[in-house]
Structure 1
């Protein structure tokens, strides 16, 4: 079991992110995406302070070196501030299922970035995975749904673009985290990312004068419940487990298991919310995950 702790952490990450997407979508539709982002990172910061004090005797990651602070802070700004700024708005505009489907492109973007910037090579089978994953996402997001009067509707283009921005932010954030951890505690590393991400949002809110909506969101009990649950499962457990997975398992295997979220979200909206998911929606989700699997598990 110890041998596969990274793979188990990656699988648990995909489950955490599934629940997180559902909770944050609900909260964002009530009070807006930026207030939810600020509140969930504030809660995550407190969770990590308590965890650090209880497990390491350090409420803050003060034992991290300059290398870790530099790269993990950059990861937090790119992944949490910029990436999640896009992703949370996408959840509101197109819902958790379609947004998570676009996020299945994270392994593809990571691999393509490695080809361009690190001069890595992909085999024919891996390029097939890139095509399959991209095709699965494209197949789902171009599907028309029926409106109230039977008219064919397409998902919001802005929502899809924002979801893609979230995928880019997460892919870059993962690469920066991998470089910044270098043997440092995965959860303490996430604490640094949360601090940087929260600082980025506070600067944004100060510049755009958005503290009023945040105060209003704090008074909405249902929104706070969903945000609190999402904060525990997302930036605390989910991201911490994702860094543990990257640390203890091959990066490709970890990314593949974490990319299962679209399948879990599709199942969740069908079983819990009783939303009708077409056969095309199911097959597209499976195709995207299968493509990611080919991409990272194919022999080099």
Structure 2
């Protein structure tokens, strides 16, 4: 079992992200995605702090090196502030299920950014995996629509979902990919939970500055008084930036990054049943097939 620790961590990450995406979709529709972003990071900071205190004797990651702080802070700003800001707004616009499907682009993005920053190379199978992944996503988000012009029936392909929402989710995938590469560069063998806490701290600082300029603090105070939303934010914080992000770093530490990213990318399939049961979403065979093709493409990318 120990030899598969990284793989198990990757699968658990996908499960945790499924739970947190559903929780944050619901909370974001009640109090806004911006308030959810900041509050969940503050809650997660204390979750990680208490865990680290009991497991390592450090509530605050004061034992991290300057090198680790530098790269993990940058990772937190890119992954949490930019990436999650876009992703959480996508949750509100197109829902968690389609947003998480678009997040299956994160592994190919990770490989490309890894090539730029870490000088990793892309093989022919990598490019094939990207094309299959894109095909699965296109199958889900595009639909054929009949229109009549001058008495003639014309069939056009158009997005079945908000283009704005799709672009937001793609931006979220790019932010997550860049954040993962930067985390890997800075973390090394350092404790994954404490590394997550540094990233979370950077996210809190980034959103706090952003809220000052956007004058959004009143919405944060209002969200704190919204009991139903706070329950969902707390649940999402526990399974997201506390368990999900930390286990993603554990997965990267204990197995190949490609294997870890592949296992994390099964969220689009895991999220179908909860979306139908809890949110009453209607899923057709094309969307299920597209989700399976997307995950298959991600797997092919890392064979």
Q: Secondary structure at the match of 2:291?
A: helix
1:149 maps to none
- Flag the 1:120–1:69 CA change in 2: closer, same or farther, 3 A: closer
Q: 1:185-264 to 2 correspondence within 5 Å? A: 185-264=191-270
Q: Aligned-pair distance for 1:125?
A: 2.8
Q: 1:144-163 to 2 correspondence within 5 Å? A: 154-163=160-169
Give 2:278's match in structure 1, choosing from 272, 282, 296: 272
Measure, in 1, the Cα distance between the counterparts of 2:143 and 2:54.
49
TM-score scaled by length of structure 2: 0.92
Measure, in 2, the Cα distance between the counterparts of 1:191 and 1:260.
25
Q: Aligned-pair distance for 1:7?
A: 0.4
Give yes or no for the alignment of 1:2 onto 2:8.
Answer: no
Measure, in 2, the Cα distance between the counterparts of 1:114 and 1:201.
26
Q: Aligned-pair distance for 1:190?
A: 0.2
Deviations 1:70-124 (A, max 9, x none): 0000000000011011000000000001100110000111122334555544333
Q: Which moved more, 1:117-126 or 1:156-165?
A: 117-126
1:178 maps to 184
Q: 1:5-44 to 2 correspondence within 5 Å? A: 5-44=5-44
Give yes or no for the alignment of 1:53 onto 2:69.
Answer: no
Uncovered stretches (5+) of structure 2, i.e. residues with no partner:
146-157
Give yes or no for the alignment of 1:72 onto 2:78.
Answer: no
Deviations 1:5-28 (A, max 9, x none): 010000000000001000000000
- Flag the 1:293–1:55 CA change in 2: closer, same or farther, 3 A: same
Measure, in 2, the Cα distance between the counterparts of 1:67 and 1:192.
12
Uncovered stretches (5+) of structure 1, i.e. residues with no partner:
146-151
8 Å Cα contact 2:113/2:181 also seen in 1: no
Q: Aligned-pair distance for 1:128?
A: 1.6
Length, aligned pairs only: 291
2:124 maps to 124
Q: Which moved more, 1:266-275 or 1:13-22?
A: 266-275
Deviations 1:241-260 (A, max 9, x none): 00000000110000000000
Q: Aligned-pair distance for 1:271?
A: 3.5
Measure, in 1, the Cα distance between the counterparts of 2:122 and 2:19.
33
Measure, in 2, the Cα distance between the counterparts of 1:117 and 1:184.
20
Measure, in 2, the Cα distance between the counterparts of 1:32 and 1:155.
20
Q: Secondary structure at the match of 1:64?
A: coil
Q: Which moved more, 1:226-235 or 1:157-166?
A: 157-166
Deviations 1:31-70 (A, max 9, x none): 0000000110010011112112111111100000001100
Q: Which moved more, 1:233-242 or 1:43-52?
A: 43-52
- Flag the 1:242–1:120 CA change in 2: closer, same or farther, 3 A: closer
